[in-house]
Structure 1
Amino acid sequence: MNPLTFTLKTSLQQRLDLSALTPSTLQDKSLSDINALELPYGNRLLRVDAVFDVVGDDAQQIIFNADCNKLDHIGAGLTGGTIEIQGSVGAYLGRDMRQGTIKVFGNTDVYAAAGMRGGEIFIQGNAGDFLGAARASERQGMRGGRVIVTGNAGHRVGDQLRRGIIVIEGDAGDYCASRMIAGTIAVFGQAGRYLGYGMQRGTVVLSRPPAHLPATFNDCGKHELLFLRLLGKSLQYPNCRIPSTLFSAPVQRFAGDLATIGKGEILVAG
């Protein structure tokens, strides 16, 4: 069987909602049925075959050959299978996904992994603002699973993160881990200003001191934490560039945000 492959064949002027193109919704559908599906495009609908050339027959392996930041909601509600994207994509990648794997060989726009509950997302590029964060009117962000970003991430990474792991090999923008409820965020580049603003619980691991830390974090001194070795093992993934020694050295621990319940921690290597 060959992966079900969607190749973008036209330029887009409006945003296109691809939430209907997941393994569970396409399973047992013929190519003619898939081509006839209608996708929200601005204030109207477009057939799949008006946008993509579609080949293949294995809906459990979906490939998008597309480099367009107007392709939104890819992998929304994913419950299994794999989605691979060759190129950059738009907003809400992996929204509310439960299981499965999404791989992006490019950049993503805002709100990737919003509402994610399980599975894995690998972004071989940069992620936009609000990675794993709560959407407007929601009280919780990402609630499970794992997100790996090999490049940089924008502002508000993990805003109101409830559960799960976010790993950023590059830099993170301002307000990383803001209002964080629980979970783990690891940043191995430079974290921006106001790190952990309003943080309640959870753990942030840094390879270098942040650009700014709110005064409401308490310096608890240096510690050698055995659980970090277990955490280091859980963070490993194919082609991981994170040095394993990072999790065996003593860390500087900061507790906060003391303006809230103050049960979060920021661990700075070195």
Structure 2
Amino acid sequence: MSALTFKLKLQTAQRIDVSPLTPDFLAGNSATDIAATELQCGNQRLRADAVFDISGDDSSNIVFDGANGKLDFIGSKMQSGNITVNGDAGAYLAFQMKKGSVTVNGNAGAYAASGLAGGTLHIHGNVGDFLASAIPGDKKGMKGGLVIVTGNAGDRVGDQMRRGIVLIEGNAGAYCASRMLAGTIGVMGSVGEYVGYGMRRGTLLLFSKPALHSTLQDCGTHTLPFLSLMFKSFRNLPTKFATINKNRVQRFGGDLANDGKGEILVFQ
């Protein structure tokens, strides 16, 4: 069996909701049924075979070839299988995904990993604003799982994040870990202003000291053995974080304006 492959052939000004093209939704469907799957595109619905050239038959392994940033909701609510995106992904990548893995060989749009509860998302490029954050009207961002970003991330990474691990090898924008409730975010590069704004719990790992607002308290320099255990758990991950072995940090607590007990750890 070969991977079920969707090669983009339709260039449209409108965004396309590809949430039905997941291993769970397509399991057991015939080639005819898959081709007839309807996708929302603006105010119209298009057949999958009008948007993509379709080949392969293994629906547990899906590939999007020639993808661009107008393909939204890739891997939405996945509970099994694997998706590989060759090209860029649109907004809401891996939205509310529960299990499985999504790999993007390109960039991704806003709200990637929003509501993610399990599984792995690996972006080999940059990602837009609100990574692992709650969508408007919701109070729950990422709830579990693992996200790896090889490039940079936009603003509001982990806004209202509740659980899980986000590892960013590049830079992150403003308001990183804003209103964070739990979980771990690691950023190897720089972060923008108002880091940890409204943070209540959780851990933010940084490799350079950022500009901190007044309600984050300097708690001094510490050797924290649990960090060695954490980085040991990263050893088999496909990321630069797998090679780190440090436990000496400068610790900042807060956000005190929100009665927060979060921590920002800056490696020495």
Task: Please report the TM-score for the alignment, with normalisation by the length of structure 2.
Answer: 0.98
Letter in 2 for 1:227: F
Name the SS for the 1:223 alignment partner.
strand
Who is 1:82 aligned against? Answer: 82
Name the SS for the 2:155 alignment partner.
coil
Instruction: Map 1:18-37 onto structure 2 (within 5 A).
Output: 18-37=18-37
Who is 1:217 aligned against? Answer: 216
Name the SS for the 1:66 alignment partner.
strand
The equivalent position to 1:263 in structure 2, one of 261, 264, 267, is 261
Q: CA deviation at 1:238?
A: 4.3
Who is 2:66 aligned against? Answer: 66
Letter in 2 for 1:225: L
Between 197-206 and 63-72, report the one with greater CA deviation: 63-72
Check conservation: 2:231, 2:242, Cα contact below 8 A: no
Identity of aligned residues (%): 53
Alignment partners' CA distance in 2, 1:111 and 1:167? 16
Alignment partners' CA distance in 2, 1:87 and 1:5? 13
Q: CA deviation at 1:213?
A: 1.0
2:241 is aligned with 1:242: yes
Alignment partners' CA distance in 1, 2:97 and 2:112? 11
Letter in 2 for 1:24: D
Check conservation: 2:7, 2:67, Cα contact below 8 A: no
Structure 2, gaps ≥5 residues long: none
Who is 1:108 aligned against? Answer: 108
Q: CA deviation at 1:244?
A: 3.4
Structure 1, gaps ≥5 residues long: none
Check conservation: 2:60, 2:80, Cα contact below 8 A: yes
Task: Please report the TM-score for the alignment, with normalisation by the length of structure 1.
Answer: 0.97
Deviations 1:62-103 (A, max 9, x none): 000023111000000000100000001110000000000000
CA shift in 2, pair 1:243/1:39, >3 Å: closer
Letter in 1 for 2:169: E
Q: CA deviation at 1:233?
A: 2.2
Alignment partners' CA distance in 2, 1:249 and 1:120? 25
Alignment partners' CA distance in 1, 2:8 and 2:237? 28
Who is 1:197 aligned against? Answer: 197
Q: CA deviation at 1:237?
A: 4.5
Letter in 2 for 1:253: R
Q: Which segments of structure 1 move beyond 4 Å, counting only runs of 4 or more?
A: none
Letter in 2 for 1:114: S
CA shift in 2, pair 1:132/1:249, >3 Å: same
Who is 1:156 aligned against? Answer: 156
CA shift in 2, pair 1:47/1:243, >3 Å: closer
Count of paired positions:
268
